[in-house]
Amino acid sequence: MSGAAGPGGSARSARSARSAGPDRPAAASASIRLDNLTKRCPDSQAPAVEDVTRDEAAGETVILVGPSGCGKSTTLKMINRLIEPTSGQITIGGEDVTGINPVALRRTIGYAIQATGLFPHMTVTENIGLVAKMAGRPRAKVRDRVEEMSNTVACPRATDPALVEAARGIGMSPLLMLFRVELPLAVPLILAGVRTALVLNVGTATPDTFGVGGGLGDLGSSGITNQRMPVLVLGSVLTVAMALIMDWRGTLVELLLRPRGLEVD
């Protein structure tokens, strides 16, 4: 649903960070810039994404909203190179992502998919520490990161992923199980690897589940919430993707005072 520039800091400091190099991703608190980003698929005449240009400052939250097939997920997946663009450029913290090892790049970007991404054979703690461990961080650093995420996010650390299977066993619907069981367990796993950016490729109900259900913990009380309106207000900047282009943008105040034809129930 949304792609957010890094956890905090200024865009100026991000741009002045030292060169990332091929195996060293850009520094934390990074800005995200898209320049004429286009993706064409061989089996389709129409582009999946066409000529998208955006410049989002570090610490800024951006929401992409639009109908299925308009290019939201494709755009987000190009940021961490799950999909390679046909043309255009993506920079994070001033560094062209094509010059960064894609595996190293992804290990610094918190990325939420529409499924939870939990490994059912691991405990919650093992899931949280997995990305940091894969990045080669010392065991003590991994342990500290797990503790930090467990304290920052309302995570049921004593709960094993077997809870998911137990929920299925008592007849909990797949949708309810996803919102009440799997997603809260996945939040700290997503955040644990964040160093440059947080990208949420999820439906509009998911932030509400995280916020209202307590999944975001202290982060929710720090301003990450969508309670201002039932849908769409997760951050300060709103980008609406309609058809194949993203051509509407405004701050929260502009949205509330001058919706520009955008209808919100």
**pLDDT per residue over 242-265, tens digit each?**
333 334 445 555 555 554 444 444
Check: CB of residue 146 under 8 Å from CB of residue 170: no
Structure confidence at residue 193 (pLDDT): 52
- Is 34 in the same domain as 140? no
- Domain CATH number, residue 73: 3.40.50.300
d(CA 30, CA 92): 6
- Is 233 in the same domain as 104? yes
- Is 40 in the same domain as 18? yes
Residue 260 included in any domain: no
State if pTM tops 0.75. Answer: no
Residues in the chain: 265
Q: How far does CA 57 lie from the centroid of its chain? A: 15
Mean of pLDDT values over 215-227: 40
pLDDT higher than 80, residue 85: yes
pLDDT higher than 60, residue 111: yes
Tell me the CA end-to-end span of the chain in Å, nearest whole number.
Answer: 19
Domain count, the chain: 2
Domain hosting residue 245, numbered range: 1-108+194-205+218-254
Residue with tokens 């240009």: 53
Residue 247 included in any domain: yes
